[in-house]
Structure 1
Amino acid sequence: MRFPRILLAGVIASVVLSSCTNSEDLNPQLENSLLDLNQQVDKKQVAFDLIDLMKNQSFKTNTLHLLEHQEPSVAMSKVLSESKASVEKMKSYQELLKKTTYLESVSSEEAPDKIEILELWMMNSKKSKDFSNILFSFAPEGDESTWSVIEAYNMNKEVVYLDVNKAPNQPVIVIETNGFETLKREVELMNEYLRDAGVQNSRFQKVEKDLSYQSSKSSGLETTKLDKIRLNDDEEPWISGAAEVYAITSGIKDSDNSPEIKVIPMYYLDHDGRDYYPNQILLFWDDYQYQAANIQLFEKDDNVNYKDLVSTIVNGVFQIIGTVSTQPWVNVLGQVAGAIIQAMPNQWYTNNDDYVDSFYTIEKNKSYSNYYGARGNAKVNLSPFFVASN
Structure 2
Amino acid sequence: MKKTIFTITALILIMLHISCESEKTTFEPANDTEVPKLSGIDKKKMAFDLIDLLNSPSFSTTIVQELSNNNTPGIKLATLLQQQNSFSHHTAYKSLIKSIETSKKQSKNYTADSFEIPELWMHRPANKKSINTEDILISFAPEGDESEWKTITAYTLDKKAVELDPENAPDLPVIVIETKGYEVLKAEVDYMNTQLQLSGLQNDRFATQKMDLRPTAKINAGLETTKLDKIRLNNDEEPWISGAAEIYAITSGIKNAGNDPEIKIIPMYYLDHEGKDYYPNQVLLFWEDYKYQAANIQLFEKDDNHNYKNLVSVIVDGVFKIIGAVSAQPWVSVLGQVAGAIIQAMPDEWYTNSDDYVDSFYTIEKNKHYTDHIGAAGNAKATFSPLFIPEN
Query: Aligning the two structures, in what range does the TM-score lie when normalised by the shorter sequence?
Result: 0.7 to 0.9
Cα deviation 1:50-107 (Å, max 9, x = unaligned):
11111233322221121012212111111111111x1111111111111113749966
Distance in 1 (CA, whole Å) between partners of 2:390 and 2:202 is: 23
Alignment of 1:114 onto 2:111: no
Corresponding residue to 2:193 among 164, 188, 191: 191
Q: List alignment gaps of at least 5 residues for structure 2.
A: 5-37
Distance in 2 between residues matched to 1:104 and 1:64, nearest whole Å: 29
Retained in 1: the 8 A contact 2:185–2:302? yes
Whether the 8 Å contact between 2:359 and 2:379 is mirrored in structure 1 is yes
Q: Normalising by structure 2, what TM-score?
A: 0.86
Structure 1 residue 53 corresponds to structure 2 residue 53: yes
Partner of 1:218: 220
Q: 1:346 to 1:112 in 2, by over 3 A?
A: same
1:90 matched to 2:86: no
Partner of residue 318, structure 1: 320
Distance (Å, rounded) in 1 between the aligned partners of 2:208 and 2:90: 44
Counterpart CA distance in 2 for 1:333 and 1:163 is: 44
Aligned to 2:160: 158
Of the candidates 358, 382, 385, which is equivalent to residue 383 of structure 1?
385
Provide the rounded CA distance (Å) in 2 between the counterparts of 1:237 and 1:112. 27
Q: Secondary structure at the match of 1:203?
A: coil
Show the counterpart of 1:34: none
Q: What CA deviation, in whole Å up to 9, does each residue of 1:171-222 have, x standing for no partner?
A: 1100111111111111111111111111110123469444345544421110
Give the Cα separation in 2 of the matches to 1:262 and 1:174.
31
Q: Which residue of 2 aligns with 1:74?
A: 75
Where does 1:230-309 land on structure 2 (aligned, <5 Å)? Answer: 230-233=232-235, 236-309=238-311
Specify every segment of 5 or more residues in structure 1 that has no aligned partner in the other structure, as ranges: 6-12, 15-37
After superposition, give the CA deviation of every residue in 1:32-55 in whole Å (9 maximum; x if it has no partner): xxxxxx941111111001111112
Structure of greater relative contact order (alpha carbons < 8 Å, 6+ residues apart): 1
The letter for the 2-side match of 1:226 is L
Are the counterparts in 1 of residues 247 and 268 from structure 2 also a CA contact under 8 Å? yes
In 1, the alpha carbon distance for the partners of 2:327 and 2:240 equals 48
In 1, the alpha carbon distance for the partners of 2:106 and 2:218 equals: 31
Partner of 2:371: 369
CA displacement at 1:320 relative to structure 2 = 0.8
Residue 167 of structure 1, CA deviation = 1.4
Higher mean C-alpha displacement, 48-57 vs 202-211: 202-211
Distance in 2 between the 1:105 and 1:153 partners? 27
Which residue of structure 2 lines up, in the alignment, with residue 19 of structure 1? none
| 1:112-151 paired onto structure 2 within 5 Å | 112-125=112-125, 126-151=128-153
Task: State the alpha-carbon separation in 2 of the partners of residues 236 and 189 from structure 1.
Answer: 24
Contact 2:236/2:358 (<8 A) preserved? no
- CA distance change for structure 1 residues 297 and 209 in 2, over 3 Å: closer, same or farther? closer
How big is the alpha-carbon RMSD for the aligned residues of Structure 1 and Structure 2? 2.2
Question: 1:214, 1:389 within 8 Å by CA — same for their partners in 2?
Answer: no
Aligned match of 2:173:
171
TM-score (norm 1): 0.86
Q: Which moved more, 1:236-245 or 1:290-299?
A: 236-245
CA distance in 1, matches of 2:196, 2:235: 32
Q: Which of these two proteins has the greater Rg computed from alpha carbons?
A: 2
| Identical positions, percent | 59
**Distance in 1 between residues matched to 2:189 and 2:292, nearest whole Å:** 26
